[in-house]
Amino acid sequence: MNIKSKYGEIKGVVLMSLGKLSNCSRCGTLFVQVVRDICPSCHQVIEKEYERCASFLRKRENRGATIYQLSEATGVSIKQITRFIKERRISIANNPNMGYPCDRCGFLIRSGQYCADCTKHLQRDIVLDLDVERRLEEEKRARLIEATYRRKQNRDE
């Protein structure tokens, strides 16, 4: 392939987007990152793990399995199975006992990141934090008004 540019003709060059040099987030190996943050060999391992999980769940007698039973039967970690569920590669709709751990307490949930109790606690904490921030801002404003008033009094004297 020949390409003409303002610098002349360049022969035998194939233009393509090169990735950046990166470490695999899973194994730490140095690789050229184009799309994923994991190296090709880790990607193959993950795909094999997915196939093991999917083939296990395809069997009618295994559709009632929990995430723990799936992990034990396939050798795939709970963390990786959770990723498959969150990526919607494993559907929990057809697996009534399947859920994944809440990010805060570990209770099995079927959607979201947190269970109902942890969501309530986090919401309460956010409301309390916002209330503290509002009170501090009001106090700061009151001090500023008071300081401005004192300066004005001192100028008038």
What is the crossing angle of helices 67-74 and 78-86, to 10°? 120
pLDDT greater than 70 at residue 3: no
Q: Any bridge partners for residue 101, and if so which?
A: 108
Q: Would you state the structure tokens that stand for residue 142, as one six-digit string?
A: 């009151």
SS3 state at 33? strand
pLDDT greater than 50 at residue 140: yes
pLDDT tens track for 67-123: 999 999 999 999 999 999 999 999 998 888 999 999 999 999 999 999 999 999 999
The alpha carbon of residue 88 and the mean position of all alpha carbons in its chain are separated, in whole angstroms, by 14
Q: What is the pTM of this model?
A: 0.69
Q: Which residue has 């500023």 as its token pair?
A: 144
**How much is the average pLDDT of 19-37?**
91
Q: Where are the domains of the chain?
A: 112-157
Q: How far apart are CA 138 and CA 146, in angstroms?
A: 12
Q: How far apart are CA 67 and CA 112, in angstroms?
A: 16
